[in-house]
Amino acid sequence: MGKEKTHINIVVIGHVDSGKSTTTGHLIYKCGGIDKRTIEKFEKEAAEMGKGSFKYAWVLDKLKAERERGITIDISLWKFETSKYYVTIIDAPGHRDFIKNMITGTSQADCAVLIVAAGVGEFEAGISKNGQTREHALLAYTLGVKQLIVGVNKMDSTEPPYSQKRYEEIVKEVSTYIKKIGYNPDTVAFVPISGWNGDNMLEPSSNMPWFKGWKVTRKDGNASGTTLLEALDCILPPTRPTDKPLRLPLQDVYKIGGIGTVPVGRVETGVLKPGMVVTFAPVNVTTEVKSVEMHHEALSEALPGDNVGFNVKNVSVKDVRRGNVAGDSKNDPPMEAAGFTAQVTFEALGRCRFAVRDMRQTVAVGVIKAVDKKAGGAGKVTKSAQKAQKAK
């Protein structure tokens, strides 16, 4: 089978209806993320409905309908393979209600894929102050996602279709904005695509002969290509701290019939193995790990970056919850903290109130005992902060 591929996590961000799920679904469908039985079922239904040519977009509609009914596919677990990576996708619906969940998801991503719609009026709506394009990109950078790919989607909907002028106009405006946030546009791949029709998704499009490919310049190695899939393959692999003590923040806890309690989350540091005795903080619950699974496959060990579910002995779903952190009980287990020192970045708005948010709840900060004004940059309005404020 050869060398095991590296696991990476990407978050797909952008304005509502920019085509995030369609683009995501296209990659998953073509790169093997949807199980064959599901595809065969839809192909059969397509044939029965006289859609024998098997319209790809119709399949996506079916997938989305099933997802909305809670059947078959949880979009947060969608995955696919490139030639170099196993990719887990965190899909980010564009509406405002999703921002809280996006904060949790985005903070775990190695790269963000920003989808902007090139259709008439659509780009302008997304990049406006009321749109989510700006907010999502700013959130991604603020939460530490330093790698970015921009998919200029719906190129088939420009006037005229596949317009070079429209693409270049969008690249210029998005570059200006992401530079204000903190990204270096030279390190960002811009790819004109159609997630619906497949242009420049997996193979170069014959509809855009003017597009000579994307290029990124970075100190860790330059890269170039034509398609979105090639851009994903050129993501710089994250360094995975396997030598540090185990830390696994829980995203959810499930009760599964015939199996028991299954906490789910991403390994941030260390290694998780079956047979290991883990402690959950701050609830101070200690138990043995019976098994570890990723994408329905049993693992002998889970490494940093892996999104896993693990079955634990004699623990009720009421004992642990989202936001708890699992660690090795014998190697510096996580502990509850009475206080902490934080570097806080905020807008220069005068009166500010702070709140601390973990993966489950928001807690108002009671007393800030001290502010170290001697720390570098403390109390100063930095140029980057001024830029970010203007960028809003």
Dist. CA 207–CA 162, nearest whole Å = 7
Residue 381: strand, helix, or coil = coil
Do 90 and 12 meet the contact criterion of CB atoms below 8 Å apart? yes
Say if residue 160 is preceded by a cis peptide, omega within 30 of 0.
yes
> Is-above-0.75 flag for pTM?
no
Amino acid in the structure at residue 324: N
pLDDT at 203: 94
pLDDT score at 55: 43
Pick from 246, 225, 245: which is nearest to 234 by CA? 225
Low-confidence ranges of the chain (pLDDT < 70): 1-3, 32-36, 39, 42-43, 46, 49-78, 90-108, 343-392
- What token pair was written down for 34? 């949807």
Confidence at residue 371, expressed as pLDDT on a 0 to 100 scale: 67
> What pLDDT score does 334 carry?
93
Taking only the tens place, the pLDDT of each residue in 167-226 is: 999 999 999 999 999 999 999 999 999 988 889 999 999 999 999 999 999 998 999 999
- Closest listed residue to residue 61, CA positions, set 31, 22, 92: 22
Q: CA 138, 140, 142, 145 torsion: positive or negative? A: negative
pLDDT of residue 277: 97
- Residue 149 sits at the vertex; the CA angle it makes with 143 and 155, to the nearest 5 degrees, is 130
The neighbouring-strand residues paired with 254 are 262
pLDDT at position 95 = 45
How far from the centroid of its chain's Cα atoms is residue 98's Cα? 13
Residue 250 confidence (pLDDT): 92
Kindly report the average pLDDT of the chain as a whole number.
Answer: 80
